[in-house]
Amino acid sequence: MGRLIAISLTLLLAACSTLGVTTPFGGGATLDPVHDDIGSLLIAFDLPRGLGPAPSGQLFTFDVANGGPDEHLRLTLAQAEADQAMSALPPPAEGRAYYLFAVADKDRPALAAAQAAAAARGVAASGVKLGIVPHLCTSGTIDPNALTVSVFATIPGRTRLMPFLDQEPLAQLMTQPGSTQMPPCA
């Protein structure tokens, strides 16, 4: 049932994978998208060999229910430093690698302002949706029916590891609008 809801939300958000706050991994607090420093998120793409992040970038979304235009953000993520991940992530599984991203410094003020506006209006954590629109590339021939994609987020040292995507079949991900073609990795 939970997987059906996640797939439905994904399709409704036009290829945007929404962070659920009810499926945490590991220790730490649950992420509160209204009050936690979302600008400090570390986002890890857990990808199998043959897949990588597309050079076009990864899109991060922040949407407040019934919010104004400044509370619906679409931000391109920046690559994060590997040392940020050392304590926040378990080692990748055999044949997989992490690709790390964070909110770009230039986008943090807009994100903080959107959170402050939501908090001032008394919006609950459940009224804010965080999302990732993954843009992937390939480095050779792949079988989309055999590969899975995971994307996790955490505020290192503060919050649990939370899934945007958790072992999502690549074939399913490729059915979403805008995700049907994957360019070669550069």
Tens of pLDDT, residue by residue over 60-70, are: 999 999 988 99
> Cβ–Cβ contacts within 10 Å for residue 55, how many?
10
Question: Is residue 160 very low, low, confident or very high in pLDDT (cuts 50, 70, 90)?
Answer: confident
Q: Cα–Cα distance between 141 and 131 in angstroms, integer?
A: 28
- Is the pLDDT reported for residue 87 higher than 60? yes
Classify 35 as helix, strand or coil.
coil
Q: Cα–Cα distance between 157 and 118 in angstroms, integer?
A: 24
Report the side by side order of strands in the sheet with 128-133: 17-18, 128-133, 59-64, 72-76
Average pLDDT over residues 166-186: 83
**Looking at the DSSP assignment, which residues form a beta bridge with residue 42?**
102, 154
- Is the pLDDT reported for residue 14 higher than 60? no
Q: Cα–Cα distance between 147 and 169 in angstroms, integer?
A: 6
What pLDDT, on the 0 to 100 scale, is given for residue 16? 40
Question: Is residue 180 very low, low, confident or very high in pLDDT (cuts 50, 70, 90)?
Answer: low
State the DSSP code for 89: S
* Percentage, residues of the chain above pLDDT 70: 81
Q: Supply the mean pLDDT for the chain.
A: 83
- Is the pLDDT reported for residue 17 higher than 80? no
Average pLDDT over residues 77-90: 80
Q: Count Cα neighbours of 185 within 13 Å in the Cβ-side half-sphere.
A: 13
Nearest alpha carbon to residue 127 among 23, 61, 34, 6: 34
Structure tokens at 19: 């962070």
Q: Write phi, then psi, for 75 (nearest 5 degrees).
A: -120, 135
What pLDDT, on the 0 to 100 scale, is given for residue 112? 97
Classify 113 as helix, strand or coil.
helix
What pLDDT, on the 0 to 100 scale, is given for residue 86? 67
Structure tokens at 11: 């399709």
Structure tokens at 94: 């055999």
